[in-house]
Amino acid sequence: MTLFEKLRCLFTFGQGVALPLPDITDESSPFALFQQWFDDANKSGILLPESMSVSTCSSSGQPSSRMVLLKSFDDKGFIFYTNYSSRKSHELTSNDKVALLFHWNVLQRQVRIEGTVEKVSTEESAEYFHSRDRGSQVGAWASKQSQKLTYDNELKDRMKHYSEKFSEGEVPHPEFWGGWRVKPHFIEFWQGRANRLHDRVCFEKAENNWLQHKLHP
């Protein structure tokens, strides 16, 4: 993004006229459009544009949301990594329906994604795990994510324990840690506009095709 475009983003903040809506045809792919918007977010200087809200639902129907980082995506789906013993993983195991939300405020853009999940392969999870810094690898072992601490220094003690245990050689990939792939069946691209006349372009999957429609703001 050029300096002029960044200044335009600044001065039009809240008006949603920073960037035009890309040309969208009947043959347009929602993944190609997401790539374009994701690249725009990266170029804008937004901190952690890969941040996204992940919403799951318990067996009792209670929804919950949290922020995670998107690690990769392609036409098969959107991947993030976590502890498989976490609350979100337990909920995704019992109910595979999920929603994602990206919000790039300075660009007045949102992307809403609805779909189902599947675990990525152990090999893919291990490859990503070993690409992380060593501290994060050890931290994955130390954290019993979403479980209550039994005493104040438990996490600190567990980190010390596993740091010593894996002080030499490669930190092994824990079987309780890995990736989820969100396979979308609905994607909405929301572009803010002045006077709340926002653009809302939706893609819905029908068998092997994506159908398009627009919504009133």
Catalytic residues: 196
Ramachandran angles phi, psi of 14, nearest 5° = 90, -10
- CA–CA gap between residue 199 and residue 190 (Å, rounded): 6
Distance between CA atoms of residues 83 and 176, nearest Å:
6
CB 81 within 8 A of CB 71: yes
User: Do the beta carbons of residue 161 and residue 138 sit within 8 Å?
Assistant: no
